[in-house]
């Protein structure tokens, strides 16, 4: 099928899956790290910073934008991308909550 079933899962589970799905590629991780590091809106430098062709990076940027982690601002002939801080915080909290699930003393394994 190739499609994930969603019926029967909670909204939070589906959103967590969507977010992690967006992160699930070295290029997208790299893009976010890059944007976070330069801490500014930049354009096509991303293409030069990654070992991928421009159309491919454009697709990755689109996916990151789709989950709201970054936003792109058209500035004349170029587009400046940067991290969406609000969403970033939101996602950080979501992920933090997920991993905070106390996995303390287990009575097995």
| Cβ contact 32:83 at 8 Å | yes
Does position 10 interact with DNA (CB under 7 A)? The reply is: no
Q: Which of 12, 13, 14, 25 binds DNA (CB under 7 A)?
A: 25
For 4, 38, 94, the CA distances from 64, given in Å and listed in that order, are: 19, 17, 17
Among DNA, its own copies, none, the one that 36 touches (CB under a kind-dependent 5 to 8 A) is: its own copies
Q: Which of 44, 71, 82, 87 binds DNA (CB under 7 A)?
A: 44
Beta strands in 1-109 (DSSP E): 70-75, 78-83
Place of tokens 């609000």: 86
Place of tokens 């933090």: 96
x-or-dash pattern for its own copies, window 37-76, by CB under 8 A? x-xxx--------xxx------------------x-x---
Does position 8 interact with its own copies (CB under 8 A)? The reply is: yes
């Amino acid at each position: 099928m190739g499609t994930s079933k969603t019926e029967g899962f909670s909204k939070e589970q589906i959103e967590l899956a969507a977010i992690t799905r967006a992160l699930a590629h070295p290029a997208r991780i790299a893009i976010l790290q890059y944007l976070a590091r330069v801490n500014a809106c930049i354009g096509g430098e991303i293409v030069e910073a990654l070992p991928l062709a421009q159309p491919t990076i454009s697709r990755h940027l689109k996916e990151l934008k789709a989950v709201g982690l970054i936003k792109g601002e058209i500035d004349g002939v170029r587009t400046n991308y940067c991290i969406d801080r609000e969403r970033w915080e939101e996602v950080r909290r979501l992920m933090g909550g997920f991993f905070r699930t106390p996995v303390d003393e287990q009575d097995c394994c």
